[in-house]
Amino acid sequence: MLLQNQTSRADLLGLTVDRLSMDESVERALELIASGGPHQHVVVNAAKVVAAVEDEAVRSTINGCSIVNADGQSVVWASRLLGDALPERVAGIDFMNRLVDESAKHGLRIYLLGAKSHVVEATANAFRERGAEVVGHHDGYWRQSKSDLEICQEVAATTPDILFIAVPSPFKEIFLADNLHRLGVKLCVGVGGSFDVVAGETTRAPIWMQRYGLEWFFRLLQEPRRMMRRYLVGNAKFIYYVVRGRLRLGS
């Protein structure tokens, strides 16, 4: 068993990332749920590392989470280059799927928040088919008709153990940090575009591309207009910050 005070973390340009494998991360999540919460989980990719380097509020929000995993293979490589190696990538969508399976085994209740209405509904149905108890869902556009307090009350009324939230970063991380005690959830997990994959709206990169850190390139090919600036500019910044960090180590 992992002890709850075992929070050894690697330092990645000011971000602290847990030195946990996928199996250890799932075990840790189940321990946190059993503790009663509330807790927040976050995965970091190159874009979030850049955002954290450039914005102290984003950095402190991520560092304050109960579990911080490396979502991108590039983050794992960067940790090795910077001399504080992480054991492996813990992809957000894989972590989510593992927790869905564990929830079915342990009778944990799930709420889904985010994405478009038909996407989150399809995701809820897919999880139920796998034996999970999905107690409620809402699309990611609640601010068009509700306040943050109202959506928190709606989630809390269903008494979920796990909240999966699929809205953009860094809004997702900051919203959770600001409302963690209002949501009435033991573990809140940000999952990015994972609902779209589960619902069949988008396709995940082939395994070999995931292994070589090319998932971003696959998404760029799928959505060039939306992803061009995010990946080309963001990845260039990430490389710059990592190289700068490496040079500072040697100085």
Lowest mean pLDDT among 34-38, 129-133, 185-189: 34-38
CA distance 22 to 20: 7
Amino acid identity for residue 187 in this structure: L
CA distances from 71 to 88, 117, 231 (A): 9, 26, 15
8 A C-beta contact, residue 165 and residue 188: yes
Number of H helices, E strands in the chain: 12, 8
Per-residue pLDDT band at 1 (split at 50, 70, 90): very low
CA distances from 234 to 49, 182, 190 (A): 10, 33, 20
CA distances from 157 to 61, 101, 136 (A): 26, 23, 10
**pLDDT tens across 56-70, in order?**
999 999 999 999 999
Domain ranges of the chain: 9-198, 207-250
* pTM, to two decimals: 0.92
CATH number of 9-198: 3.40.50
Per-residue pLDDT band at 6 (split at 50, 70, 90): low
Alpha helix ranges (H) inside 130-186: 148-156, 171-179
CA distance 226 to 224: 6
CA distances from 192 to 36, 81, 94, 239, 248 (A): 24, 26, 12, 22, 32
**pLDDT tens across 65-96, in order?**
999 999 989 999 999 999 999 999 999 999 99
CA distance 168 to 159: 24
CA distance 135 to 157: 10
CA distance 70 to 139: 26
Angle at 42 between CA 245 and CA 165, to 5 degrees: 145
Lowest mean pLDDT among 4-13, 171-180, 200-209, 216-225: 4-13
CA distance 210 to 81: 19
8 A C-beta contact, residue 188 and residue 180: yes
pLDDT score of 219: 84
